[in-house]
Amino acid sequence: MDLRHHHGTDVHVVRACYYADGADLVAIGGTHSVQVLQTTPNSYKVIANFYIGCRITALAWSSKTTSPSSTDEWIVELTAAGEDFGLNLLTKTATSEESVFPFGGGLSGHHGKINDISFCGGQSEDSSRYVATVSDDKMLMVWDLHPSVTIRSPGSPEILDETDPAARPQPTAYVISFPHPLVSVCSHPSTSKEFLVADIRGSVFLTDWRSDPEANEQASWRNASVVELVEPRALADAVTGATKRWSGFAAWRPDSADIVGATYGSRFALWDLSRLQGGKPMVSGISFPEGGHRFRWCPSYPEYFGVSTNSPSKGAVINVHNTAYVNTEPTTFTVAPKPLYIRDFDFLATPGIPRIAAAVGREVVIFYIGVES
């Protein structure tokens, strides 16, 4: 059955938790707050509500997160970006109330809309320590949430209590600049060194954020980028000015660090990093002639990926493709009629038949994309 949650304001961001101990959790970013839903096949409940005070533009889950369904000592931790270009670390546990720790504002952070967030990949503690953000200001920033060196003001205590937001040291950022505005960033469970970064013009960069940028400070993105992938038609349209609506989004296939997918304009593209072909995709096709907006892999059935459009001409629609039959027509799911459209969506990581959480107007709709055979 479909689940419908009325948030109270327009829902701008939806992110499912992909970690096994929190796979039934979904975060929702609205006009001024973030809610966390715990889902079951037939119901849901709100387990956390964080007031931010401005529109949410991006969300990311920390690997520390565990669901009440996994343990009595559960914890919710995620990072939220607001339209004021600031960041917030959000935390709630089974024994404590919601905590909002703001950082990255003012001169120390971004100076444009933050379009996406991702915690570091890998299996070490770094996966909850480092979080990456990308923005319209052409910057990738990797934040250390637990800096080992802190700058203390005169008279401040020697020992800082990180559970107290007022006493906690501000995160520090490692900055990599790119030539064009950035639209998405993601990590992979198999590596803590690299982020996948996409810009608006059809380029996707596999970026080693731990590399040394000192060799050429004027082009640090070239030093940090291990591989640059391109979607030729999107890049050509950007160069010739044929692109009317700037959009794009890239993601790593969760079960394979070699497979990357993206949507640019009307097209989707898949790359195989083991066969680079000069950075060109191994396969591409049309998903939405009006232009795609979001690209998401399904974590429970990784051969599936979904593409949405934010054009209201089709209504709130998501196309789900199968990589085994990538040249056939996708399965189309209509969530709501026009003029409503999909602002954001994500696949839940719960086992069994895949489920999608989609932001439509003031609602989040959670639905299955198949039935038991």
Three-state SS letters, 276-318: CHHHCCCEEEECCCCCCCEEEECCCCCCEEEEECCCCCCCEEE
Predicted confidence (pLDDT) at residue 9 exceeds the cutoff of 90: yes
What are the percentages of helix, strand and coil residues in the chain, rounded to 5? Answer: 10, 45, 45
Determine the Cα–Cα distance for residues 61 and 79; give it in Å rounded to an integer.
Answer: 7
* 8 A C-beta contact, residue 143 and residue 114: no
Q: What is the DSSP string of 50-91?
A: EE-SS-EEEEEE-TT-B-TTT-SS-EEEEEEEETTS-EEEEE
Taking only the tens place, the pLDDT of each residue in 237-274 is 655 555 545 578 999 999 999 999 999 988 999 999 99
Mean pLDDT of the chain: 89
Angle at 267 between CA 240 and CA 27, to 5 degrees: 115
Q: What is the pLDDT of residue 163?
A: 55
Confidence of residue 158 (pLDDT cuts 50, 70, 90): very low
Q: Please state whether the peptide bond connecting residue 189 to the residue before it is cis, i.e. omega within 30 degrees of 0.
A: no
Taking only the tens place, the pLDDT of each residue in 286-338 is 989 888 999 999 999 999 999 999 988 889 999 999 999 998 999 999 999 99
Taking only the tens place, the pLDDT of each residue in 111-125 is 999 999 999 998 888
Predicted confidence (pLDDT) at residue 103 exceeds the cutoff of 50: yes
Determine the Cα–Cα distance for residues 285 and 56; give it in Å rounded to an integer.
Answer: 31
Confidence of residue 44 (pLDDT cuts 50, 70, 90): very high
* Phi, psi for 278 (deg, rounded to 5): 70, 20
Taking only the tens place, the pLDDT of each residue in 216-229 is 444 455 556 678 89
Predicted confidence (pLDDT) at residue 358 exceeds the cutoff of 70: yes
Q: What is the pLDDT of residue 373?
A: 46
Q: What is the pLDDT of residue 151?
A: 46
Q: What is the pLDDT of residue 159?
A: 44
Percent of all residues in the chain with a pLDDT value above 70, rounded to a whole number: 87
